[in-house]
Structure 1
Amino acid sequence: MAKAKFVYSFGNKEAEGSGSMKELLGGKGAGLAEMTMIGLPVPAGFTITTEVCDLYYKNGKKYPAGLVEEVEKHVKKLEKTTGKKLGDPSDPLLVSVRSGAAVSMPGMMETILNLGLTDKSVEGLAKKTGNKRFALDAYRRFIMMYGSTAMGISREKFDHAFDQIKETVTRKRLKLAASVKVGDTDVNEDELGALISNFKALYKKEIKKDFPQDPIEQLWGAIGAVFGSWMADKAITYRKVEKLVGVKGTAVNIVQMVFGNMGSNSGTGVCFTRDPNTGENKFYGDYLVNAQGEDVVAGIRTPIKLSDFEKHDPKAYKQLCAVRKTLETHYKEMQDLEFTVEEGTLYMLQCRTGKRSPAAAFKIAVDMVTEKLISKETAVSRIKTSDIEGIFYPAIDKSQVQQLKSEFIVNGIDAVPGAACGKVYFSAAKAEEMADLNEKVILVRKETSPEDVGGMHAAQGILTATGGKTSHAAVVARGWGKCCIVGCEKLEIDYAKKMFKANGITVKEGEFITLDGSSGNVYKGELKLVAPKLPESYQTIMKWVDEVRTVKVRTNADTPYDATHARKLGAEGIGLCRTEHMFFDSEERILAIREMIIADNSQNRKKALAKLLPFQTKDFEGIFKAMDGYGVTIRLIDPPLHEFVPHDEAGQKALAKAVGKTFEEVRQRVEQLHEANPMLGHRGCRLTITYPEILEMQVTAIITAACKQTKKGVKVYPEIMIPLVVDAVELALLEKQVRKTADAIIAKQAVKVTYLVGTMIETPRAALLADQIAGHADFFSFGTNDLTQMTLGMSRDDAGKFLPDYIDENKAGVFRLDPFQSLDQAGVGLLIKTGIEKGRSAKPSLKIGICGEHGGDSESVKFCCRAGMNYVSASPFRVPVARLAAAQAAIADKASAGPGVKAVKKTVKKAGPKKEKKATSTAAKKTASPKATTKK
């Protein structure tokens, strides 16, 4: 077996690797190799692969056999290429050491420059260059970088020592006033010599050893620091936040030093081939004269713009412009570049795909299609979910630097991005009341429940002390596109005193706070927000998206407002309308549903439900009107009844008085409704089997509204969905009741209405028995919220206590991603595919979609497309994300063009709208218009 290769050379017109080897060489190493291959000026060097990092940790922090020898071989090769040697007292070779994972990863180790300098070699560098100040400056930088980055000494201690020299010696020598800042370049040779002595003394004090004078010892110290940084807390945190899993580790890049600090005709810079903020096709970046790379990033000195660089050094600038053109043409993508100019000669130190603002992402993609650099499909594939989110959500104006520092209160979990300002209120009722008075409101709760939805809808943003990204607050807020921060554990809420405390700061009801849902930060006061502005390029990209995708995108919406808004965002119908949310819309409604629950016989229940009927009918009329021409899937009542009744004594007494019952009668009824595990209890279709009058009222409201709107010329396609079925017998009973009620109304109204009856597949048993259940269903909609809970045996509200360990690949590593945010494709996904296969084996025309929260997750949507669904349904603000994901899935399918893809496409086509007429009711068949059914 061939010996593993751990080290790859680059530079000096020789590259052992290439840009396609990012997984092995990391982003920096692959970029350096690729730039070498296409003839750009790259310093010589070599890359230690990411595989070494992986083996280092697997072997108990020991290097794999053969690595030391391979590195020594490449050091000698580098010495031969450069004509210099590490540690040479007359003309030393100096190198930089940099980390570089396959994915750009803030939090990794910073660069160590000038490695190889010692007390002896610094004298040789001074003589060789004829610039002693330059040599001493390089040495002080190296000691500081090695000491802080490789050995863990606080950088502040080095900065403090440097400031002392500048303030006590340099300022005095230059006779500068106290108001004039002393710059790094003002420090002369003697002062740098004294600083180096101070730095070495600091190093010995902290490390208990002298600063290493052996370059090879320095090199391995730096290599070890790079690998060590892979498991640093900040790097681990970043990978968790960005959901970066399966990345082997970081590579190590050892590069011949080129010096930007050799004088006024030298310098260093960072630039983008296009403006990363606006996307404009103009060179964007900074250049720092007489400086090394870290100076630009650290902001120690003020750089000049590239336009000024052109004036300062026209020749080097012209070289850089040629590189810009070469790299954009080669990669066909906006690039982020790092470069150094050494005495007029340009060297390229890094190239990578440049990070950009959401607005810039859309403009660059469209412009590159116009410039014929890329295809429309490539442009669509490059847009990320975060780009779309960033386009829509308002943000805090970051120019408020002082306020962001002084007004910070506390940090929580960033559940829904964007920003919101408003006055704090601690109850949903108060939030609604104040919102009705045109107040901007932030609802602050320990946690939220269905009873809070009115206040949540009225609020600008939501803040809770408990919960995770899939808690009730997060799910509802995400659906409405409202900024939301949850799990803010330091939040001490006192409902009685109407105030909260956090980190010693008290905020009372009625005072302003600002939420930054993108970071989880909470600020005191009303900070300025920047309103979202959709660029023209967004509309262009989304037009291309809709041309490419084959799967429809619907929305989860419960009100005419949400339906209208979702349609503006591109929704093609409603995949989930939750009728129970409508019950909380007013005091009259909640009282009517509670009266029905408290009723002790069918007659009284019907009497109470009759009060709800006109409300529900009106709601459905508005929704049908908003979705004119598209299908609307309406789920019948789902939650257990205990969620609708008050559980406190005051609330129960008020209810007793309102419905003419005694407090004891109400209290006993509420106690009877208590369930040990309500998620698995008396809910969903089980309620309508026990209380068929609920189903009758809701179906009456749906079909009556459909008839009324049809008479007004609105094209209405109701789809009545029965939730939580576990058996065909169960569905058959309820389907019969639905059709009996609906057909009677249609016949009486003498109007043409096409409707479907289907079910929500959200129990494992229903997925496994899908072929039997399909006999009584016109459509399936996978409710993946509950299907995930029941399949995993995990509560999405409680799993946050242990789920992080299940996702952390350094602990259990059971799941790649949070299964409540991104579909568990291996387990839950298998049930879905089984359900689809079985369902269509019994009824080929079966229409299938998804309506759980996963319908707005990019990776989950792509799975649904591959599985053969007709549509996905997402929260209104996630509709553009779902559209994009469906298009990207279609592009990927086209690229792979495998037999499985063809089979899926054939299945989707087979279950398309033209086949749906076979699945309608008898009454619908008699009245359905072919034109109407084909447009669904």
Structure 2
Amino acid sequence: DAVEVLSNGKVQFGSMILSEGDFLSLNGFTGQVYAGDIPVVDSEVIQVIQGRMDPKDSEKYQYFSTILKWADAFRVLKIRSNADIPEQAHIARGFGAEGIGLCRTEHMFFAEDRVPIMQQMILASSREERELYLEQLLPLQRQDFIGLYREMKGFPVTIRLLDPPLHEFLPKREHLLVELAKLEVTNGDPQVIQEKQRILDRVEELHEYNPMLGLRGCRLGITMPEITRMQVQAIFEAACEVAREGKKIVPEIMIPLVGMPSEMKAQKELIQEVAQRTMSEYGMTLNYLIGTMIELPRAAVTAGRIAEHAEFFSFGTNDLTQTTFGFSRDDAGPYIGFYMDRQDRCPVCQRTNVDWKKMVCRMCKATIDKKAENILDADPFAVLDQEGVGALMKWAIEDGRKTRPLIKLGICGEHGGEPSSVAFCHELGLNYVSCSPYRVAIARLAAAQAAVAVLEREESQRQPRSTPGNNGQSRTVATKSGPTKTTQKTPSAKTTGKKVTTGRGVAGKKPATKNAAAKSAVKKDAVTKTKSKKSPSRKMATSSSTRKKRATAAKRR
């Protein structure tokens, strides 16, 4: 039924009326909405991953694990997770993450015991004073990184340097004004008033009309290099400490919001200086990578020059979507929703309460001739925009690889856990996708489906097709194969003399529906595993071209 907004903060769903403040429960898997606050329990999979249940005691977890192992046998993309603290990294590893693709260091500074130090650092009137407070933050940041390195047990950890504008760590201007007014009216402590006024002055000094495009990211590191020095020192001290425990650590330092090659060069030189000094103090030498996020259109179109200094690119598709569309992710909700359901609205009053059988709006009673067209098919912050943002990504990948053929490429926005976006990343030839810990399983499955889809398409292109000859009889015409998108191939029927199973079909037969064919592939693969008791694999001809492609993919990874 349509939702009708009533007066006095009430809404009506059919015969049910709800008031503002009433609880609703949403089933995230089915989309069903229930009235009231329904008690819930974690799934057995979550309980196992959190260590509250033994995997042997959960048949559901065993099924879950088996299906994902099958998926891992087919996928080409590596799956990483976004994680800022060891607890998140633990969950990510439980879901099968193969590294951390994004560690947002700013989240570490929002802890209750760190915000006051961070605020004093921001309020400092000189570089020397800032460095005093940064020295207090250094051991805290080092312990954070040690925890992440230990939890990931040698898997790669990409740490992004401080990204947000500094005013985010300070109290809101409006709150400070209210507090000052109360203190002055009640004859409060003069010293407290003076301190509040000092903070307010700094907040107003840091105020920006568009902070998303303001003093943040690498701009912050260039104008206040002491912040970058402290973070890089913490990264390498942590890496050296954990390396002493016998673990292989390869730090990956990511510079945010780079738009110019000169910005990348300046920050890289500073990082190298601090890294070398810190490793010398420990008497150790570690391999490490310095890269950048590609989250600005200018970075995408100058990626070839940026790659002269960057050893990896990670596409920050949240900000890249904002800067490509000119949308603010925090403010775009109302009109993006309108863009996506415009065809369901009355063209006169723009409400959705329409009787489409009678083509009459229930609200304004207007007669509707035809539906309007939607402006957007999907929310670009949820589903990657392949036409615009995707084109910039492709440009950056091609230019980056011209300069540095084996540059590591990944994506670290929430698109990294959305199936159609993961499939697009596979087509582009990325090395990995990174998403939130609880979307890792989705990404693993989506990456496998993307690889199987490419294999199936290639197999169908290799199949002969029949066309009528001049004498009325059929003759076989070979179709031309398109370019290979993956590192694996399936042998043709001619090679083996048998019917060949691809991911979802049999050579010489038209595949069934997508879901049915996918089930068939899983079933066949399961039989193979039961017989061999080995890790799942496809029996494929290893031609020289296939071996070369696999070798290239391995180098990129």
User: Normalising by structure 2, what TM-score?
Assistant: 0.69
Which residue number in structure 2 is paired with residue 788 of structure 1?
Answer: 321
Counterparts of 1:132-531 in structure 2 under 5 Å? 503-504=18-19, 515-518=25-28, 519=31, 521=33, 524=36, 527=39, 529=41, 531=43
Describe the shift of the 1:709–1:809 C-alpha distance in structure 2 as closer, same or farther (beyond 3 A). Answer: same
Per-residue deviation, residues 226-282 of structure 1 (Å, max 9, x unmatched):
xxxxxxx76xx9xxxxxxxxxxxxxxxxxxxxxxxxxxxxxxxxxxxxxxxxxxxxx
For 1:798, the aligned partner's letter is D
Choose the corresponding residue for 1:731, options 264, 286, 297.
264
Which residue number in structure 2 is paired with residue 841 of structure 1?
Answer: 402
Which piece of structure 1 moves more, 698-707 or 795-804? 795-804
Q: Distance in 2 between matches of 1:583 and 1:912?
A: 38
Deviation for aligned residue 1:908? 7.9
Choose the corresponding residue for 1:640, options 148, 151, 165.
165
Match status 1:609 vs 2:141: no
Q: Distance in 2 between matches of 1:505 and 1:771?
A: 53
Q: Distance in 2 between matches of 1:682 and 1:715?
A: 36
Match status 1:582 vs 2:108: yes
Matched residue SS, 2:292: strand
Matched residue SS, 2:247: coil
Deviation for aligned residue 1:902? 1.9
For 2:484, the aligned partner's letter is K
Which residue number in structure 2 is paired with residue 689 of structure 1?
Answer: 222
Which residue number in structure 2 is paired with residue 902 of structure 1?
Answer: 484
For 1:554, the aligned partner's letter is R
Choose the corresponding residue for 1:675, options 187, 205, 208.
208
CA contact (8 A) 1:580 1:638 kept: yes
Which residue number in structure 1 is paired with residue 98 of structure 2?
Answer: 572
Which residue number in structure 1 is paired with residue 121 of structure 2?
Answer: 596
Match status 1:824 vs 2:404: no
Deviation for aligned residue 1:663? 2.8
Which residue number in structure 1 is paired with residue 288 of structure 2?
Answer: 755
CA contact (8 A) 2:74 2:451 kept: yes
Counterparts of 1:703-718 in structure 2 under 5 Å? 703-718=236-251
Which residue number in structure 2 is paired with residue 931 of structure 1?
Answer: none
Deviation for aligned residue 1:895? 1.0
Which piece of structure 1 moves more, 785-794 or 529-538? 529-538
Counterparts of 1:55-94 in structure 2 under 5 Å? none
Per-residue deviation, residues 414-440 of structure 1 (Å, max 9, x unmatched):
xxxxxxxxxxxxxxxxxxxxxxxxxxx
Which residue number in structure 1 is paired with residue 275 of structure 2?
Answer: 742
Q: Distance in 1 between matches of 2:553 and 2:137?
A: 36
Deviation for aligned residue 1:490? 6.4
Q: RMSD value over aligned CA atoms?
A: 3.0
Matched residue SS, 1:822: coil
Per-residue deviation, residues 578-626 of structure 1 (Å, max 9, x unmatched):
000011122x211111111111110111111111111110010000011
Matched residue SS, 2:405: coil
Q: Distance in 2 between matches of 1:605 and 1:660?
A: 23
Q: Distance in 2 between matches of 1:506 and 1:802?
A: 24
Deviation for aligned residue 1:804? 2.3
Counterparts of 1:23-62 in structure 2 under 5 Å? none
Per-residue deviation, residues 320-362 of structure 1 (Å, max 9, x unmatched):
xxxxxxxxxxxxxxxxxxxxxxxxxxxxxxxxxxxxxxxxxxx
Q: Distance in 1 between matches of 2:98 and 2:42?
A: 30
Deviation for aligned residue 1:896? 1.4
Deviation for aligned residue 1:516? 3.0
Counterparts of 1:832-911 in structure 2 under 5 Å? 832-897=393-458, 901-902=483-484, 905=487
CA contact (8 A) 1:595 1:659 kept: no
Matched residue SS, 1:802: helix
CA contact (8 A) 1:805 1:812 kept: no
Per-residue deviation, residues 685-735 of structure 1 (Å, max 9, x unmatched):
111111101100100111100000000112212100000001101100000
CA contact (8 A) 1:844 1:911 kept: no
Q: Distance in 2 between matches of 1:544 and 1:759?
A: 33
Describe the shift of the 1:565–1:651 C-alpha distance in structure 2 as closer, same or farther (beyond 3 A). Answer: farther
Per-residue deviation, residues 625-652 of structure 1 (Å, max 9, x unmatched):
1111211000001111111100222898
Unaligned runs of 5+ in 1: 1-232, 238-409, 412-488, 492-501, 508-512, 916-935
Describe the shift of the 1:853–1:657 C-alpha distance in structure 2 as closer, same or farther (beyond 3 A). Answer: farther
Deviation for aligned residue 1:807? 2.3
Match status 1:621 vs 2:182: no
CA contact (8 A) 1:870 1:911 kept: no
For 1:853, the aligned partner's letter is E
CA contact (8 A) 2:103 2:159 kept: yes
Deviation for aligned residue 1:910? 6.6
Q: Distance in 2 between matches of 1:848 and 1:686?
A: 23
Q: Distance in 1 between matches of 2:190 and 2:405?
A: 54
CA contact (8 A) 2:44 2:61 kept: no
CA contact (8 A) 1:869 1:908 kept: no
Match status 1:649 vs 2:176: yes
Which residue number in structure 1 is paired with residue 309 of structure 2?
Answer: 776
Q: Distance in 2 between matches of 1:824 and 1:658?
A: 53
Describe the shift of the 1:900–1:606 C-alpha distance in structure 2 as closer, same or farther (beyond 3 A). Answer: farther
CA contact (8 A) 1:865 1:886 kept: yes
Which structure is higher in RCO with an 8 Å CA cutoff and minimum separation 6? 2
Describe the shift of the 1:745–1:751 C-alpha distance in structure 2 as closer, same or farther (beyond 3 A). Answer: same
Q: Distance in 2 between matches of 1:625 and 1:657?
A: 48
Per-residue deviation, residues 158-185 of structure 1 (Å, max 9, x unmatched):
xxxxxxxxxxxxxxxxxxxxxxxxxxxx
Select the structure that is richer in strand: 1
Q: Distance in 2 between matches of 1:900 and 1:532?
A: 44
Describe the shift of the 1:812–1:641 C-alpha distance in structure 2 as closer, same or farther (beyond 3 A). Answer: farther
Q: Distance in 2 between matches of 1:912 and 1:693?
A: 38
Describe the shift of the 1:611–1:900 C-alpha distance in structure 2 as closer, same or farther (beyond 3 A). Answer: farther
Q: Distance in 2 between matches of 1:908 and 1:659?
A: 67
Q: Distance in 1 between matches of 2:248 and 2:111?
A: 26
Deviation for aligned residue 1:792? 0.4
Choose the corresponding residue for 1:814, options 375, 380, 393.
375
Match status 1:540 vs 2:66: yes
Q: Distance in 2 between matches of 1:793 and 1:550?
A: 33
Which residue number in structure 2 is paired with residue 101 of structure 1?
Answer: none
How many residues of Structure 1 are paired with residues of Structure 2 in the alignment? 416
Matched residue SS, 2:251: strand
Q: Distance in 1 between matches of 2:192 and 2:292?
A: 34
Larger-gyration structure (1/2) = 1
Which residue number in structure 1 is paired with residue 365 of structure 2?
Answer: none
Q: Distance in 2 between matches of 1:820 and 1:733?
A: 31
Q: Distance in 2 between matches of 1:576 and 1:904?
A: 25
For 2:135, the aligned partner's letter is A
Match status 1:765 vs 2:298: yes
Q: Distance in 2 between matches of 1:621 and 1:723?
A: 22
Q: Distance in 2 between matches of 1:665 and 1:911?
A: 58
Deviation for aligned residue 1:748? 1.6
Q: Distance in 2 between matches of 1:800 and 1:789?
A: 13
Q: Distance in 2 between matches of 1:761 and 1:705?
A: 26
CA contact (8 A) 1:707 1:746 kept: yes
Matched residue SS, 2:307: helix
Matched residue SS, 1:884: helix
Per-residue deviation, residues 805-851 of structure 1 (Å, max 9, x unmatched):
32237244233211110000011000000000000010001000000
Deviation for aligned residue 1:530? 6.4
CA contact (8 A) 2:85 2:148 kept: yes
Choose the corresponding residue for 1:721, options 254, 261, 272.
254
Describe the shift of the 1:490–1:748 C-alpha distance in structure 2 as closer, same or farther (beyond 3 A). Answer: farther
Which residue number in structure 1 is paired with residue 197 of structure 2?
Answer: 664
